[in-house]
Amino acid sequence: MKKEKTKIVTSIGGQALLEGIMMRGPKKSTVAVRKSDGSVELQEIQPLNLVKKYKILGVPIIRGVANMIDSLVTGQRALMISADKALDSEEEEESEQPSKLDMWVDKHLGDKFLSVVMTLSTVIAVVFCVAVFFFVPTWLFNLTASVLPFLNDAIIWRSAFEGIIRIILFLVYMSLCTVNKDMKRVFQYHGAEHKTIFCYEHGLELNVENVRRQIRFHPRCGTSFLILMLIVGIFIGLFIPFTDVWLRSTVKLLLLPVTVGIGYELIRICGKHDNIITRIIAAPGVWMQHITTKEPEDDMIEVAISAMKDVIPENGEDIIR
């Protein structure tokens, strides 16, 4: 009788990019991008590895903040690499004479232009998120409470109201992203990433057929992490007595590292254990992945497999024990 392979849980994680995927293993991280000629180009990327470099950052809660900073910085660099390769691939196909604007940008900014644009976009996005997810919910509650004074009777109403508004805003934003054709392809690559990791965790050969059969909802997904942060934020809000929009929002911002740390520990537990409690904790994030992941095409799966194979260590160091 053929012995059934034992399911493993790997520490390898990934990120969907523009026409590509980044896979991050314990020893190396790789960006894989599908070029216009059909080839898959691989490029190694060096993470910050803050937790490995500084032992103090490996303490529970603190390690969540360190890993989030690491993921944001590394993810931004990976996104720039994929965008650069995608644009280079498109430019190779174009035979038209470049415009005067293109020539000026190339002359004065050169390769730095994409980096400047991406950095500026990131800064604008962060400012926008802070305004929408911290100030707007508190302002809306104060506005509602002025009409329905009983809401001021218990802090639980305020915290629940603000938390629900944040979750709704997040759902609306992610749903609107699916309308954009390019973002929909990113979500398909997201699905390919999850399916490939599941295939590896089930001990199956990494090929398109095996990967395609896997589900696309993974408990260690960044989407699940964000949803858990929003939910944890509701409970933390119960301990913030301030009602002023600016003061309450500022305190919540200052407590963001605590929210991140707790959310990270929860998502870590969900990725390591499979029981009724972890399924309940992971459920909101898994449901959200119906929006942030889409069924990938076979060529997207091939990209994910290429990235995955490049980061799997030979000694099983990636296995979560």
pLDDT at 86: 72
Quote the CA–CA distance of 222 and 202 in Å, as a whole number. Answer: 21
pTM, full prediction? 0.84
pLDDT at 37: 85
Structure tokens at 40: 């898959």
Residue type, 15: Q
pLDDT at 92: 53
Among candidates 10, 9, 14, which has minimal Cα distance to 193? Answer: 14
pLDDT at 95: 47
pLDDT at 4: 45
- Give Cβ neighbours of residue 156 (< 8 Å, ≥ 6 apart): 238
Residues in the chain with pLDDT < 70? 1-6, 87-119, 321
pLDDT at 254: 93
Q: What is the pLDDT of residues 232-272, one digit of tens each?
A: 999 999 999 998 999 999 999 999 999 999 999 999 898 88
pLDDT at 113: 59
Q: What is the pLDDT of residues 258-308, one digit of tens each?
A: 999 999 999 989 888 889 999 999 999 999 999 999 999 999 999 999 999
Quote the CA–CA distance of 169 and 263 in Å, as a whole number. Answer: 19
pLDDT at 211: 97
